[in-house]
Each structure stands twice: as structure tokens, then as C-alpha cells.
A and B are shown apart, each in its own frame.
Chain A
Amino acid sequence: DSGVTQTPKHLITATGQRVTLRCSPRSGDLSVYWYQQSLDQGLQFLIQYYNGEERAKGNILERFSAQQFPDLHSELNLSSLELGDSALYFCASSPRSGRSYNSPLHFGNGTRLTVT
């Protein structure tokens, strides 16, 4: 168990809808990362937050947004969903930036999103 908690585990929704994925990082970790894993694109970095602030952005669509709250949990919001958004969405966390240089990312179990 990595200590990173993601909910829900599975989500089935229709095209055009909006969903929210939730992530609680490991205790003490300030950084949260979101990744998308699909068969055709592999593992893609979406976005990173550190202590509530956006720190880095990757291949995140404009229909997607994220935030990190004061209690350090994070939410990834996906709107106007398309069939191609079906994927496994992972959250990962790492320690305080100053000590995270040689620390791996610890991944949650993911949320499997199916858009029908």
C-alpha cells in the first residue's frame, strides 16, 4: 500500500458529462501529481501541485482542471467528456520539494474512467 488514496475506483459516465476524481496524498507529502494512462498514449503527465499551488503542467486538456486544497487532497475535474477520455487516471505524491530530489513518486491505485 503506497499510502496514496484515490476515489472512486471505477467511474462510468456518458459523453458530455463532468466527473471529479479525488486523491489524498501520503501523510506528509506536499506534492500531488496526476497522470493519465491509456493504451494508445501510455502514461502521460497531466499536472502537478505543490502545497496548493500549480507547479508544472503537462499534456492536460483545457476541458480538464485540477486543484489542491489546504488539507492537501487534490481533485481532477474532467468535463465535456469524450470517448477518448476513457483511461486510468493515477494520482501520485512525493515529499516536501526540498527533500524530494531522490524520492520516487508514490502512486495510488488509480481511477478507471469509462466514457460511453
Chain B
Amino acid sequence: ELKVEQNPLFLSMQEGKNYTIYCNYSTTSDRLYWYRQDPGKSLESLFVLLSNGAVKQEGRLMASLDTKARLSTLHITAAVHDLSATYFCAAATPGFFGNEKLTFGTGTRLTIIP
């Protein structure tokens, strides 16, 4: 059974600092997703990572995937208050056609302090 772990669970950081959220998954997966959720809101897709060594960047966020280590990272550069949210990674169960059975991590609640 695919398990996905994120750390840290909670992260408070000052504006302007850099930090990384880690996402480990237990078995082979061919797709890794990152989502953002604001309190009481829906999940917004950030990145889809499909292959080993994949790196994607959007603004101050950069995600990478190492399939050999079963590890994905979400790096935050020069954090700003607007990035405060909960970030989830999700891995797809291999062998299922399409997006079936995404297993989500526990989420990292990120708070940016002015």
C-alpha cells in the first residue's frame, strides 16, 4: 500500500527566508503532485512531476522529484506572506490508468511571519 509522508507538519518562517518541504513515498509511483490549500478552501494544483529529476518552478516555489529516493521537495525562496497555506503532496498508485487513487500526504501548514 502506498504511503506518503510529509515533513515538517508545521512550519513558521520569516518573510524573505528560504525553506524546503519534504515528501517521501513508500512504493514506486509514476506521478507526484503538489497542491496548496487555504483555510476552508479547495485544493489548488501547483505542480505535476512525472519523471526522475523533474524540476518545475512557479514564482517563489520550486518542486523536484527523485524517483530513486522516492522523494519530492517543494522549495520556497524568499518567502512572502501570501504563501501562507497548507501544502500537500500526493503520489499516484502505479498501474492505475489516469489519476486514480492519489494518496495524499498529511500536509505542511506553512505560516509566513512578517
Contact = CB atoms under 8 A, between A and B. Distances in A.
3 closest A-B pairs by beta carbon, nearest first, are: A104-B45, A56-B100, A43-B104
Interface of A: 2, 31, 33, 42-43, 45, 48, 50, 55-56, 58, 90, 92, 94, 97, 100-110
Interface residues of B, number: 24
Interface in B79-100: 88, 90, 96-100
A56 B101 CA distance: 7
Given A33-B99, A50-B98, 10 more contacts: A43-B88, A43-B107, A55-B97, A58-B101, A100-B98, A102-B48, A106-B45, A107-B42, A109-B42, A110-B42
Contacts of A33: 99-100, 102
B42 A90 contact: yes
B94 to A, nearest CB: 12
B42 A31 contact: no
Contact of A45 (B44, B88, B102): B102
Contacts of B55: none
A42 B88 CA distance: 10
B25 interface: no
Contact of B101 (A48, A101, A104): A48
